[in-house]
Amino acid sequence: MTDTWLIVGLGNPGSEYSGNRHNVGQMVLDELASRIGGKFKVHKSRAQVVEGRLGIGGPRVVLAKPMTYMNVSGGPVSALAKFFDVAPDHVIAVHDEIDIPFNTVKLKIGGGEGGHNGLRDISKALATKDYLRVRVGVGRPPGRMDTADFVLRDFATPEKKDLPFLLDEAADAVELLITEGLLSAQQKHHAARS
């Protein structure tokens, strides 16, 4: 296995979804791509991909945005992991998380998918739950709004003001996860909100 990291931003394809809460993972990848100076190109694995390094001489990363719908993200993720020879413990899924408040970033490895169909499909395709997750808080639906309706809506106007800071923090969390490890990244990002 190589020392390459595969970072996957979950979301749905198409401009009608690009501003949705469900696509926050792909928004984070756009931030990471701008940091490494890369442009996404279509890859045969049904994903848009940028290859590069974190910093000068830093770890090699493959940033990927599946071009499939969220609930069938596993196929492209598995294909990319095979193509780039990346073990599951070097796969990072960046995704929306309704179980943590908006403007919060949490990190973990393995565990349940919390009803997140994109994660469930990745776990099935990789045949393990033991990959890293950067969970970007989008908050819970108000009142009795259906969860699917909530995550398929754009961020509210007040949230849009803070969104660039949230994307920046999530991108920082990905970088820290790679360069310093899970525990260090958790201590920094989880302590910030306690």
Residue 55: the pLDDT is 81
- 22 carries an active-site annotation: yes
Mean pLDDT of the chain: 93
Residue corresponding to tokens 């499939």: 68
Task: Encode pLDDT of 10-58 as tens digits.
Answer: 999 999 999 999 999 999 999 999 999 999 999 999 999 999 998 888 8
Task: Encode pLDDT of 148-159 as tens digits.
Answer: 999 999 999 999
Task: Encode pLDDT of 112-160 as tens digits.
Answer: 887 899 999 999 999 999 999 999 999 999 999 999 999 999 999 999 9
Q: In the chain, which ranges are continuous DSSP H helix?
A: 24-36, 74-83, 117-126, 147-151, 157-180, 182-191
| Coil/strand/helix, residue 163 | helix
Angstrom distance (rounded) from CA 6 to CA 36:
14
Extract the tokens encoding 23: 């696509």
Residue 1: the pLDDT is 61
Angstrom distance (rounded) from CA 151 to CA 54:
30
Higher-pLDDT residue of 178 and 2 is 178
Out of 22, 90, 116, 189, the active site residue is 22
- pLDDT interval class at 2 (50, 70, 90): low
DSSP states of 19-55 as a string? TBGGGHHHHHHHHHHHHHT---EEETTTEEEEEEESS
pTM confidence score: 0.95
